[in-house]
Amino acid sequence: MSNFFKDLKDKITAKPEPTPPATSKPVIPPTAAERVDSPRLPPRIPAAAPAKPIEPANREAANTFENYIVNKGDSLWKIAAEKLGSGNRYAEIQKLNNLSTDVIHPGQVLKIPPK
């Protein structure tokens, strides 16, 4: 057997050397104060102040809609006829609830605009 194959066989069958136990300290991520002062990391950007909620012109008119739970057999037309007095007003319910189609499902909660 040539030296090449003998060396190869020795490498394949040799037991790996045990790794020495770690003696170094574990790496701990920097605290917020250390991160700000660190030259390697970019400075932290302060958070923006929270935005104030927009107040509606008429607070009472803003929340005057009624919630309606869809029943089996309901349609937007039928709900509009019962709750708003005219089935032609189904588009108002559709728009208020951000519906792209007229498909509704039993158990779905819809907002109904005032009469």
What is residue 87's DSSP assignment?
Answer: G
Map out the domains of the chain as residue ranges.
63-112
Q: State the pTM of this model.
A: 0.47
Architecture of domain 63-112: Roll (3.10)
| Closest to 97 (Cα-Cα) out of 84, 111, 107 | 111
Question: How far apart, in whole angstroms, are the C-alpha atoms of residue 88 and residue 35?
Answer: 62
Residue 77 has pLDDT above 90, yes or no: yes
DSSP one-letter code for 16: P
Q: Is the Cβ–Cβ distance between 95 and 109 less than 8 Å?
A: no
Q: pLDDT tens digit string along 38-72?
A: 556 666 666 666 766 666 665 555 568 899 999 99
Check residue 32 and give its pLDDT.
62
Residue 113 CA to residue 115 CA, distance in Å, equals 7
Query: How many Å apart are CA 59 and CA 62, to the nearest integer?
Result: 5
Q: Chain-wide mean pLDDT for the chain?
A: 78
